[in-house]
Structure formats: structure tokens, C-alpha cells
């Protein structure tokens, strides 16, 4: 998951500042709360951010603008924009970049989103595990990986092991037991 610091938010706003007064005020802010309050008094920051969001040409750029806007704005108009974007993206092929943007739209908790994507067939168990690891949920990732007969994706297995050796070892023991039973059934 992303951790956004005040310096990143300030840089985002300074790139949009139109007047020296705005630049001076934003530069002097120490806390995120101060930046949010200032943006509430300067509505053009919201509309400038909105136009940048609409101009985004890549999922990375879209994710960046949504992340920054989520840090700064909490209003009905922005909620509607996120809701519409969420609906449009659900019709796309879902990969990690699209998942990140869907997650930033905040229409549902990340695990609910992953479950929805998995149940609706928009992602398989391996991708669901990747998404779960992205949102720091190694237990959920393990549960999705257990739906596979075996996982040969080294990156996912290393990430899981990095999060929790216990979950990794549990998964390997599960695969060993599962594959032993399959082998015994084939011999019978």
C-alpha cells in the first residue's frame, strides 16, 4: 500500500498553483490537514486536479492523480467521479495497474473488491492472490493460492514468504499433501 507524505501532496499542489500567494501558503504548510483546509478555500485546485485526472493517459498517471485527490478532497462531486470511473474500469481487462486504480476509487474495501473480481471471473485465483498481497493481506493471498493445484509463480511465492514464512510453509505443506493425495488416487 502507498504511504503519502506531506511533501508529495505539497509538490502536487505546487504544480497546480496559479498565484504567488498560493505558492507561499502551500510551502508554509506543515500538516496535511492544513493543505486540505486551504484547498477547501480555493476551489480551482479541485477543478485543476479533476482536469488532470481526465487528461491522464496511463493507469499509473490515473492512479497517481486519484491518490493525491483522495488525500485532499472529500466531497460529493469527487465521489461521483470515482463512482463513474470505477464502473468504466470494471469493463476493462483487470491487471494490477487497473486494480490499483479500482482500489483508489474506494467504492468498496480492498478485500471485498478482490472477492468481487474473483467471483465475477474478472481475475483468477493467482491474480486475486497478487492483489491480496498488494493490499498487505497475506492470509487472504494464501487462501486464493490454495485454490490452485500448485503455484509456480516465484514472485508471488517470494512475496508471500516475505510477508509471512508461516503462511508460505503452510501453503507448501498444503500443496505437498494435496499432490500426494492426487498421486495416490491415480495409482489406485
Q: Which residue has the cell 493445484?
A: 149
Range of the domain at 66: 59-187
Looking at the 3D structure of the chain, how many domains does it have? 1
DSSP, res 93: P
Q: What is the pLDDT along the chain (188 residues), one digit of tens a residue?
A: 567 889 999 999 999 988 899 999 999 999 999 999 999 999 899 999 999 999 999 999 999 999 999 999 988 999 999 999 999 999 989 999 999 999 999 889 999 999 999 999 999 999 999 999 999 999 999 999 999 989 989 999 999 999 999 999 999 999 998 877 544 544 54
Query: Which three cell numbers, joined as nine digits, stand for 73?
Result: 478532497
Residue 19 lies in a domain: no
What's the pTM value of the predicted model, to 2 decimals?
Answer: 0.83
Taking a C-beta distance cutoff of 8 angstroms, is the pair 113, 100 a contact? no
Amino acid at each position: 500500500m502507498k504511504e503519502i507524505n506531506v511533501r508529495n501532496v505539497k509538490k502536487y499542489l505546487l504544480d497546480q498553483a496559479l498565484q504567488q500567494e498560493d505558492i507561499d501558503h502551500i510551502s508554509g504548510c506543515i500538516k496535511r490537514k492544513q493543505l486540505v483546509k486551504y484547498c477547501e478555500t480555493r476551489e480551482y485546485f479541485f477543478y485543476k486536479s479533476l482536469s488532470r485526472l481526465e487528461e491522464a493517459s496511463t493507469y499509473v498517471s490515473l492512479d497517481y492523480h486519484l491518490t493525491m485527490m483522495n488525500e485532499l478532497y472529500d466531497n460529493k462531486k469527487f465521489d461521483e467521479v470515482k463512482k463513474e470511473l470505477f464502473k468504466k474500469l470494471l469493463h476493462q481487462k483487470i491487471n494490477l495497474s487497473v486494480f490499483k486504480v479500482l482500489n483508489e476509487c474506494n467504492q468498496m474495501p480492498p478485500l471485498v473488491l478482490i472477492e468481487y473480481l474473483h467471483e465475477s471471473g474478472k481475475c483468477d485465483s493467482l491474480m486475486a492472490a497478487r492483489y491480496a498481497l498488494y493490499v498487505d493481506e497475506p492470509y487472504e493471498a494464501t487462501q486464493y493460492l490454495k485454490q490452485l493445484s500448485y503455484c509456480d509463480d516465484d514472485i508471488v511465492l517470494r512475496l508471500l514468504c516475505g510477508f509471512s514464512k508461516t503462511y508460505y510453509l503452510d501453503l507448501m505443506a498444503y500443496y505437498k499433501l494435496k499432490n500426494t493425495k492426487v498421486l495416490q488416487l491415480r495409482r489406485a
